[in-house]
């Protein structure tokens, strides 16, 4: 049993300030990881840390109230300070469940329903990275212990978390070490506690689902969504790409949560988040395991998080709509994200030249270029420039909104080409590791105002022999 000391923070004023800064780094790191892997893990961690602290405190006067921020801060700081480090990567299945209703229309929170969200997260302390694979709920798989194919979200309804774990492990070839299940109420409550999340809603969303008791009405544009609106945003699927659009919105929402979670104002909201976790989160991780994860969180930055969707295409089988995975692309994506997958293997696109510098086959990467500026035909100009350098451009179009700085969206997790693409573009870019671009290509480049300016005023060339400007 872990022993938690009660006098760790009773030091000099200077050390207290140092501890306060360290505490903010701890909480920020945990928020980043757990927002990307599901809000529930984050709050569940602090709930379990608090319980551990109280269980190991012998004097009743020293026990900490759930509603006390100062108490939670002390418990977390003390616990993490002496906790063991996370030394091996772990894979955690994140599940978000639908709301169930009886035949009479009454809400039913006890009967298992199909999972609305399914993500597999890898926390890797060796490389200090977090990788998240989003699995569309309509993905067609053979459900374990059943004799027929179904949508993967049915596994949760048939056999709860355990059957869902088996289904994901069979699909990905990845060992699933732990799970976290978050009820819909948990998402709504936690977003409200955070004070809402800012999202650039890409279109007007209007849809009424009488069965699921949903009345979605969200207008296009940048806005702060409250808990109910955020739930509607990530549930909406009535656009051109159906369930895949929902997966993209979930990843976009996660990015918004990460940004909000990093705000210093979030720290004082921990007690309410913990209480919400008690009511809405289920996990099989022990207090000791959660403390290791919290320790690991201190080393993670936002750019260390990668989010990718399982590649595939739409299909209709037996009158039902499915997401049919592209086996070749899926194996490559899974193998890149999860080194412990049966599909893990060296990158076939990478090679070494005689000088030892890694090279890539540019033709094998599919690229979409979008114009995110008011400059006419900017995407076409960028595409021409990239093609001249050997890249394969699959699609050119206008972006849904303008951007000031050029973005490189890495939607399939193939990160090795990033420095080569950046070099070919000739200017720094914002890298987005999420499947929020063109899902049928490897990269989406949104050229912004900075790229338009770059073409008007390109940097002077350098003579490699004299090392002077020409």
**Ranges of each domain in the chain:** 90-337, 358-456
CATH topology assigned to domain 90-337: Aminopeptidase (3.40.630)
Return the residue matching tokens 């569940």.
44
17's CB contacts (< 8 A; 6+ apart) are none
Q: What is the structure's pLDDT at 84?
A: 80
- Determine how β-strand 312-317 pairs with β-strand 350-352: unpaired
Q: How many Å separate Cα 236 from the centre of its chain?
A: 18
Alpha helices per DSSP H over 236-377: 242-261, 270-280, 287-297, 327-337
User: Does domain 358-456 bear CATH number 3.30.70.2390?
Assistant: yes
Positions in the chain whose pLDDT score sits under 70: 1-83, 98-114, 211-212, 240, 262, 264, 267-268, 270-271, 274, 277-278, 345-358, 459-470
User: Residue for token digits 């977003």?
Assistant: 191
At residue 254, the pLDDT reads 81
Asked if 268 and 69 touch (Cβ cutoff 8 Å), the reply is: yes
- 375 touches 406 (CB < 8 A): no
Q: List b or e across 398-412, with b for residues whose CB sees 16 or more CB atoms inside 10 angstroms.
A: ebeeebeebbbbbbb
Q: What is residue 339's predicted lDDT score, i.e. its pLDDT?
A: 92
Q: To which H or E segment does residue 23 belong?
A: helix 13-37
Model's pTM, two decimal places? 0.69
How many angstroms separate the Cα of 89 from the Cα of each of 124, 412, 457? 4, 21, 46
pLDDT digits (tens, 9 = 90+) for 293-344: 877 877 777 778 888 889 888 888 988 889 999 888 889 889 989 999 998 8
Helices (H) and strands (E) in the chain — how many of each?
13, 25
Quick one: CA torsion of 451, 454, 455, 460, rounded to 10 degrees? -150
């Amino acid at each position: 049993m872990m022993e938690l000391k009660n006098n760790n923070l009773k030091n000099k004023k200077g050390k207290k300030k140092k501890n306060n800064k360290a505490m903010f780094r701890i909480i920020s790191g945990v928020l980043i990881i757990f927002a990307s892997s599901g809000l529930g893990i984050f709050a569940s961690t602090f709930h379990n840390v608090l319980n551990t602290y109280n269980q190991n405190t012998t004097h009743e006067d020293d026990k900490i109230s759930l509603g006390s921020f100062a108490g939670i801060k002390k418990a977390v700081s003390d616990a993490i300070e002496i906790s063991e480090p996370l030394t091996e990567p772990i894979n955690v299945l994140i599940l978000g469940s639908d709301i169930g209703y009886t035949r009479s229309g009454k809400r039913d929170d006890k009967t298992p329903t199909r999972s609305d969200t399914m993500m597999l997260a890898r926390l890797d302390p060796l490389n200090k990275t977090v990788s998240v694979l989003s699995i569309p709920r309509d993905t067609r798989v053979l459900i374990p212990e059943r004799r027929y194919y179904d949508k993967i979200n049915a596994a949760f309804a048939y056999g709860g978390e355990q059957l869902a774990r088996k289904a994901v492990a069979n699909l990905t070839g990845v060992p699933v070490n732990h799970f976290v299940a978050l009820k819909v109420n948990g998402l709504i409550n936690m977003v409200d506690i955070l004070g809402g999340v800012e999202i650039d809603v890409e279109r007007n969303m209007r849809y009424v689902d009488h069965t699921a008791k949903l009345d979605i009405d969200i207008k296009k544009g940048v806005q702060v969504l409250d808990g109910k609106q955020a739930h509607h945003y990530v549930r909406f699927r009535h656009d051109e790409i159906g369930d895949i659009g929902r997966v993209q919105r979930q990843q976009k929402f996660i990015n918004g949560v990460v940004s909000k979670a990093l705000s210093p104002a979030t720290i004082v909201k921990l007690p309410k988040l913990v209480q919400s976790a008690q009511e809405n989160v289920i996990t099989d991780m022990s207090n000791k395991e959660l403390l290791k994860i919290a320790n690991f969180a201190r080393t993670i930055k936002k750019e260390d998080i990668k989010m990718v969707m399982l590649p595939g295409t739409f299909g209709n089988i037996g009158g039902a709509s499915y997401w049919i995975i592209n086996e070749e692309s899926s194996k490559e994506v899974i193998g890149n994200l999860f080194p412990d997958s049966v599909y893990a293997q060296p990158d076939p696109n990478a090679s070494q030249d005689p000088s030892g510098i890694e090279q890539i086959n540019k033709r094998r990467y599919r690229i979409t270029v979008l114009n995110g500026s008011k400059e006419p035909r900017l995407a076409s100009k960028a595409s021409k420039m990239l093609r001249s350098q050997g890249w394969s451009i699959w699609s050119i179009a206008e972006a849904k909104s303008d951007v000031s700085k050029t973005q490189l969206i890495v939607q399939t997790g193939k990160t090795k080409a990033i420095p080569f693409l950046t070099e070919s573009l000739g200017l720094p870019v914002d890298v987005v590791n999420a499947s929020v671009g063109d899902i049928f290509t490897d990269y989406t480049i949104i050229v912004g105002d900075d790229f338009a300016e770059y073409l008007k005023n390109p940097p002077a060339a350098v003579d490699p022999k004299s090392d002077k400007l020409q």
